[in-house]
Structure 1
Amino acid sequence: MRTQVAIIGGGPAGLLLSHLLHLQGIDSVVLESRDRGYVERRQRAGMLEQGTTDVLRESGAGERLDREGLVHHGLELRFGGAGHRIPLTDLTGRTVTVYAQTEIVKDLVAKRLADGGDVRFETEVVDLDASAPSVTFRDAGGATHTLECDYIAGCDGFHGVSRPAVPGLRTFSREYPFAWLGILADVPPSTEELIYANHDRGFALHSLRSPQVSRLYLQVSPDEDIAAWSDARIWDELATRFATDDGWKLHEGPITDKSITPMRSFVAEPMRHDRLFLAGDAAHIVPPTGAKGLNLAVSDVIVLARALTERYATGSDTLLDTYSSTCLRRVWRAEHFSYWMTTLLHVDPAADDFALRLQRSHLDYVASSEAAKASLAENYTGLPIG
């Protein structure tokens, strides 16, 4: 078996890379360990930067996004019993769009299969060679195959096989003393724009999935037992943390999914070894507060697709040679913004009164300073790619 680019991982990063390469006449094979149903149901991020929506539209994969995505022109910081709107579009000229990762994956799978793409589900990668590029994998029937290629893209997430195949990696990480308890609920959202709430009892986020489905989060302990959180307790705690002095009400409804997600920051450098290139969660993780995880994965594969296109079109390795440094500039900026948003809004259980007063002062500053609002808006809607 042979292809030009072997892509390990059939999430949004791997699928989008395959689609972008196809548009440039470059062949690829996508190898995904899970079955198609699992991949298309996997709950993940849902806030898209302007650059992410632009590339999906320009690549022809944005039809349903344009029809069903919820475009936002602002967000709300809520603390001290009051809301403070950050007018994203007024400050940057850009928007963000709520459109679940599950839907992006469905769109890209359908697009690749309709275009004759080679997407192989239930394939376990057992070995890879970055120097004489090849990937050995076991298919759903247990048969072993070797896929020879020119390049390998490791888009297989934090726990995948690609990152361990890069020798001499330098890693940077931070664990946070809290986690998110997230729910999906069949209830119309109580807000038209996201609400990021800081409360003495902890952080809360009101997001959206559709006009009929709400996505909400609570700060909890990393070792929290989800069984201890009944639906009634979750709604009571959300109502407490979102409460305002003007009597704002939270809509409640049936909870269809609940989970607890730990919070971490992680970066691996470099993002390339020989002909193996890491992208997305295989190379970096951000806490979800800044809504950067999916968007960083997309920016990585945009940069990689451009570099591979140049290589096949002109024979030049220039963009491939600068892939890691180009991506890492944006990664570290997003890491800092995500860290900043996380520490700005969450309550550190070890914080003393002095630290809590500093946090409130910082929130007051962001809510009242046009310069601070503009900085938040610029980072939140997305910096230039590449």
Structure 2
Amino acid sequence: KQDYVIGYVLGSQWSGSSKPLTYTQMASARNLKVLLPLAPASADQIITDVAVYLNLMQPVNGLQDQLLNGAWTLAQLKGNTMSPSAQNGGIQTFDPNTGATLGWNVGWSVASSVASINNDLANTGRTIEIDLTTTSSSDNTLGVNVDGQVGFSVGSWLEFSTEASASYDMSRTSGTSTECSVSIVYAGYSMVPLAPTPWQQATNVGFYAPDPVAQAVANSGQDVTGFQFLSAPPYRLGPVADGGNFGVLTNLLVANYPTITITYEHADYATFAQSWDEKVSGNLTLFGFIKLGSFSQGAYGSTVTSSTDNSSFTITFSASPEVTAVPQNQKTAYVVGAAVANPGVTH
């Protein structure tokens, strides 16, 4: 109770300081009352008693300072994270369809302007290309090799879902083949730096301060001063390379929707052409879990090119006009990859 009165009432409320006065500051003051301009007129006896107490506690004031500062820091970070506002650096989002403002969220900044990102995406001469080959594998799976390297096995590598709820597995649809070469081309891309708003102690603006997490990770299982986890967190706080799953986005690599070109070998074009409709649009799913578009009217359309014989043909999926001809606030780009920083990793 004494520590609460000294640390919170005197050090914070009566001092009027944005950061609480430390025990050491109060103990070493020639006139403690001068440091407490907001103290009520009837507080003289309390201030006198506290000065005596602080003098007696001088040997442990340093430890008390650390406890007070640590508790205050965590309280500010938790408050700013749980209740973001304009005053503590939060940002307000809006509905891209109606323009109506929504609630407050913790602050993030994007270093690239919308115009800069649009310019990057419009530069379709810059491309990212991924080449795949697929072959039959055991247990009804497909072997996928990426850029000529040793690959992996999947149940389905590309699925085309149409507005009419029809679904086509592009390696098992009538007339196709499990043996094909694939080109995935992202024409126009942009690297977008992101950053959470860092916590500024002097102004209590922002929410992101990785030091307490890093300290708690480093101090885990050790009888040392500093931040500690009271209970084991539900995350793996190590590096991503070691399976860590607690990270903060620092960069997003975004691009226009990719164009996917599939060239089938040992196929049957005549059979395929009977069931395929190039006028139908839909959405693509890569490797069973990577969504290449979720537009309600279908993000992709297709064109088919036959060869001189019936055993090979090429189908190309490209973004539908509906995806690109939308208002600015409703435009989306495809996320190719991301970079993260791990607050729990200090090296």
Give the TM-score normalised by structure 1: 0.20
Whichever of the two has the greater Rg, that structure is 2
Report which structure shows greater RCO (CA 8 Å, sep ≥6). Answer: 1
Give the TM-score normalised by structure 2: 0.21
Q: Which has the higher helix share?
A: 1
